[in-house]
Amino acid sequence: MIFKALVTSYAHAKTNLVKAGGTTFAYRELGQQGGVPLVLLNHWGAVLDNFDPRIVDGLAREHHVITIDYRGIGLSGGSAPVTVDEMACDTIAMIRTMGFDQVDLLGFSLGGFVAQDVALRAPSLVRKLILTGTGPAGGQGIDRVGALSWPLILKGLLTLRDPKTYLFFTATTNGRQAASAFLKRLKERRTGRDRGPTPRAFFRQLKAIKAWGQQVPQDLAGLRMPVLIVNGDNDIMVPTTLSRDMARRIPHAQLVIYEDAGHGGIFQYHVDFVSKALAFLAAFASPHIGIRAT
């Protein structure tokens, strides 16, 4: 197999376009090309510039990493879907159009919903699955993400702070310091930045989240691949109890819960998360993938 070196800094990764299923999708890739690529799926309203560069760069030390914009988001064309199912179908179409027979998936928040749906729809396409800050279809509280978020988004506007300060991190000293550091990292890319989400796309994605929370639960026993589940111990957006619920229902799952951390626990503990994710991806893909951590 021929390996081609790609750029190793997410801040300098080129934004590319690929047409799949009649829609043009924006994506970036970096790391060592060859082997099974790792596809990253992001949160509600997120564009390519909302992926944490420390996490992307850390994973790209050992993997070919691909980040994507959902349909109707950032530089991707079309209208944002109002169901997770549509987003999963888009993701499958994009992966196959890019010529990959198998990928690893890492989904954060809404991205975790999409990653689960992709893995259940096309199990042979997904080798390993990493679910962070997320929950299962029909998970209690997911349909209230909007109701919970609006007051904190308003608080961000009134205090001149990015709402992710309140949505993703705890109000403790550690949480506030982690929020500040994370938000600074998101500004490291100076040129060629993605286009921000439109209000219409923002609300359409929220409809998809609400529908995911209200739909009939999926049979997570169908996820037969190794799965790593990660969250903070105080996730107010997608309750931490749902991470524990998924770990019980998925046959070969590892669970990591970070202390004094919220929805963005992987950003607060990005060094440890990258280490654990790399170890998980490197482990032999057998049904037994190690000791569950709590």
Q: For residue 232, give the 3-state DSSP assignment.
A: strand
Q: Which CATH superfamily is domain 4-282 in?
A: Alpha/Beta hydrolase fold, catalytic domain (3.40.50.1820)
Residue 52: predicted pLDDT: 97
Mean pLDDT of the chain: 93
CA-nearest of 22, 21, 20 to 66 is 20
33: pLDDT confidence band, cut at 50, 70 and 90? confident
- Whether the predicted pLDDT of 35 surpasses 80: yes
4: pLDDT confidence band, cut at 50, 70 and 90? low
Integer Cα distance of 140 and 208 in angstroms: 15
- How confident is the model over 236-244, as a mean pLDDT? 97
- Whether the predicted pLDDT of 58 surpasses 50: yes
Q: Please state, for a pLDDT cut of 70, what percent of the chain lies above it.
A: 94
139: pLDDT confidence band, cut at 50, 70 and 90? very high
100, 202 Cβ separation under 8 angstroms: no
- Whether the predicted pLDDT of 2 surpasses 70: no
Residue 290: predicted pLDDT: 33
Per-residue model confidence as pLDDT tens digits over 69-114:
999 999 999 999 999 999 999 999 999 999 999 999 999 999 999 9
Strands 23-33 and 64-68: antiparallel
Integer Cα distance of 125 and 92 in angstroms: 8
> Cα dist. 176→29, 121, 164 in Å?
30, 39, 11
- Whether the predicted pLDDT of 216 surpasses 60: yes
CA-nearest of 25, 18, 28, 88 to 53 is 28
Residue 288: predicted pLDDT: 37
- How confident is the model over 209-221, as a mean pLDDT? 97
Name beta bridge partners: 253: 227
7: pLDDT confidence band, cut at 50, 70 and 90? low
Q: Burial code of 126-149, b = ≥16 C-beta within 10 A, e = fewer?
A: bbbbbbbbbbbbebebbbebeeeb
Q: Please state, for a pLDDT cut of 90, what percent of the chain lies above it.
A: 90
Per-residue model confidence as pLDDT tens digits over 141-200:
999 999 989 999 899 989 989 999 999 999 999 999 999 999 999 999 999 999 999 999
Residue 32: predicted pLDDT: 84
Residue 6: predicted pLDDT: 64
20, 97 Cβ separation under 8 angstroms: yes
Residue 284: predicted pLDDT: 64
- Whether the predicted pLDDT of 286 surpasses 70: no
Query: Regarding predicted confidence, which is higher, 245 or 6?
Result: 245
Q: What residue spans define the domains of the chain?
A: 4-282
Q: pTM of the predicted model, to two decimals?
A: 0.93
Which burial class, exposed, middle or buried, applies to 214 when counting CB atoms under 10 A from its CB (0-12, 13-18, 19+)? Answer: exposed
Q: Token pair for residue 139? A: 């998970």
